[in-house]
Amino acid sequence: MRLGAPPAPSRRTPRRRGTWEGGAALGALALAWGALGALAWGALGAPARASTCEEVAAVPDALQVAWVAPLGRRVGADASLEVVRVSDLRARAREVGGADRVLQVLGLLGRKPTEGQRERAWQVVVFDVRAEWLCRPVEEVEEGALLGGVPTCTGDEVGPARGHRKGWTGCGYSLDTGASTRGLDVFRVDWETASTNGFCLMPLQRFLDGA
């Protein structure tokens, strides 16, 4: 869940006769401090909101996307997948090198993974899709609004996808958990639609060897 600012008082307490005249001034001062604290919380502690998100890149009408998941994971036909552009994934893989760092770029692996997490096997499934089949998981914007030629997601697809909570930003791109910087633009598409033109499945390391 995303953290917000502390709630403001729903109403002021009526001023009573005989109370200290400076009470109103102190109340105003307290409200001012509360507002300042809310701003500081938003700047320092809260995750990025759509209003503070960076722009996402436009995509062509036809493109290749990749779904990265633990090896052997199966999903239903209507399951929503979080995918990234194959070209983006290959380019970033060449930059960061190594499966662990690629998984961190995708938000699938924490900053300090355990030995068991590092040894886990992963798969990459590549699809040929149309931009109109995709949506961007962006919070606090009108559902269905076009961003870079792709509509924003609606309903449950707006929230973090399975396994991606570590790298969730609500901005339409992942958080690189290893560097605490922007990762890759992400999209959602259901398996049945994504696999319309077939798919190619391979181990993550094989994908990286060809990057």
Specify the higher pLDDT residue, 3 or 147: 147
Instruction: Evaluate whether 26 touches 116 at the Cβ level (below 8 Å).
Output: no
User: Per-residue pLDDT tens for 131-153?
Assistant: 999 999 998 888 889 999 999 99
pLDDT of residue 195: 97
Please state the domain extents for the chain. Answer: 16-46, 57-209
Rounded to a whole number, what is the distance in angstroms from the first to the last CA of the chain?
Answer: 35
pTM for the predicted model, two decimal places: 0.72
191: left (phi over 0), alpha (psi -120 to 50) or beta: alpha
User: Per-residue pLDDT tens for 45-101?
Assistant: 334 444 589 999 999 999 999 999 999 888 899 899 999 999 999 999 999 988 999
Q: How far apart are CA 84 and CA 24, in angstroms?
A: 55
Residue with tokens 């998984």: 103
